[in-house]
Structure 1
């Protein structure tokens, strides 16, 4: 970014070389930013004018500062604090570190965007699958590997308790760099011996609330598992498998889940109840897909 030495070159013997400078309005138009923004950047020290007329107060910028403006607006868009940009501009060094930080933030943003695209694609796929099977009484589905973030649900099934636990899972997901895939419900049989982990399915625990997740860049499985445990949750990776499925419908949310849990019964492996969307669904019509592990 332009330093004081360059600024001094633009002012020789107190005379501003105005023909080689741009007014603040002209400079703002070159990149579609507002004059107000440029004044703010100056005030915090992120981008100062090349010359300020002491008598009129007019600000002038050099054509060389366009790249500086581009850097500032890019960093702002990526979420780099203006104070950090300003300190780098004031010190005249540290630009490499700031650029690397910007690159990392950009990679994270790309990762989130890709995850969100996959999130929407997965949602569309689930709707298509739901429509394909909605008229069948019992059917089998092949599921690819799934990553579930689970939290315990104890006591009788209750809609409000389920909603609170689900909300807690959604709230915790970003801290583990996980993106929810809008596929949620309850699960049983996720522990020993099928997955090699103990989830403690006893002491009044009726099931686990589960939300399917997608890792986002940069994802650290060990760190995510540790954070999940700290929050009383469990990160479970279900291997690809075939499931015997059935539809459960009811006008009562809690009744729908209770009926579904009873309908699945005992299974040699994971059993899940996943909320479903159907064209005829209404706020008072609930549909679940009961999924029982086959192999």
Structure 2
């Protein structure tokens, strides 16, 4: 019987199709995958050609390897690392399809959860922008109804630099991600006032109630007295609204970003929101 290698030698420098084998170009075309990707699979050792001509470098794959390509593409869709491919291949060379399907279902449910979280973040951001646009042309103080908000916050020192502020903000986003919370815009700074003592915080709004976290605070729905100001005006809130500070001994001021659509990459005003929250 004439060997496959012998037949290949007879047709050097000609791309041929042998019964049961396909060239790398044919595999790429049939499976709608790039030759570069197939070479990468070979490089990392998860899918080697059935035969590689030592003289021409032509690569040939068996028809039976097409299922493996489908499974590799499946792994990529589910974001399962290709380095995990070998755990589904038995020492005998048999493929553990049940194992892949089991892990695939687990990853699929994880991706559904991630997409649901992403949707909540988008809805939260959209609500914040819509609320902001309603009051973009207001001058001086105005009142507005704001629904209940869940936030994560951390105390900061007065006079925080922009770099330190964004570092603290990033820490809160990482905390939210760790606990699978939907954190997004709006974000900003807060001030707790109690008997003349000022305590400043950086905060992000989250979709979920997470009262088990020390950083969590629920801001109840209410009528807020608001004022549009330059960023970090919360540090001057007492001089901007002395009557309110003189009248109330215990309250919270929220400084919220006023980003609108379309976005211009320039400094945006913030909205100071004052109400009796305690």
Query: How high is the TM-score relative to the length of structure 2?
Result: 0.72
CA–CA separation in structure 1 for the residues paired with 2:102 and 2:249: 51
Q: Is the 8 A contact 2:153 2:216 kept in 1?
A: yes
Q: Is the 8 A contact 1:248 1:259 kept in 2?
A: no
Equivalent position of 2:235 in the other structure? 258
Equivalent position of 2:144 in the other structure? 140
Unaligned runs of 5+ residues in structure 1 are: 1-11, 191-200
CA separation of 1:68 and 1:93: change in aligned 2, threshold 3 A = closer
Alignment deviations for residues 61-111 of structure 1 (CA, whole Å, 9 cap, x no partner): 344543321220231343322221024235335443333333333333333
CA separation of 1:23 and 1:176: change in aligned 2, threshold 3 A = same
Equivalent position of 1:149 in the other structure? 152
CA–CA separation in structure 2 for the residues paired with 1:23 and 1:260: 72
Larger Rg: 2
1:244 corresponds to which of 211, 224, 229: 224
Equivalent position of 2:117 in the other structure? 115
1:213 corresponds to which of 202, 206, 229: 206
State whether structure 2 residue 51 is matched by structure 1 residue 52: yes
Mapping of residues 1-12 of structure 1, within 5 Å: none
Q: Is the 8 A contact 2:144 2:225 kept in 1?
A: yes
Ranked by relative contact order (alpha carbons within 8 Å, sequence separation 6 or more), the top structure is: 1
State whether structure 2 residue 43 is matched by structure 1 residue 40: no
Equivalent position of 1:289 in the other structure? 272
CA–CA separation in structure 2 for the residues paired with 1:149 and 1:261: 24
Equivalent position of 1:169 in the other structure? 172
How many residues align? The count is 254
SS in 1 for 2:89: helix
The root-mean-square deviation of aligned C-alpha atoms, in Å, is: 3.8
SS in 1 for 2:19: helix
Q: CA deviation at 1:152?
A: 0.9
CA separation of 1:107 and 1:239: change in aligned 2, threshold 3 A = farther
CA separation of 1:25 and 1:291: change in aligned 2, threshold 3 A = farther
Q: Is the 8 A contact 1:45 1:89 kept in 2?
A: no
Equivalent position of 1:8 in the other structure? none
CA–CA separation in structure 2 for the residues paired with 1:282 and 1:15: 63
CA–CA separation in structure 2 for the residues paired with 1:184 and 1:126: 10
Equivalent position of 1:275 in the other structure? 257
SS in 1 for 2:190: strand
Equivalent position of 1:67 in the other structure? 67
CA–CA separation in structure 2 for the residues paired with 1:269 and 1:96: 59
Alignment deviations for residues 159-192 of structure 1 (CA, whole Å, 9 cap, x no partner): 43433322322344322323421111223559xx
SS in 2 for 1:141: strand
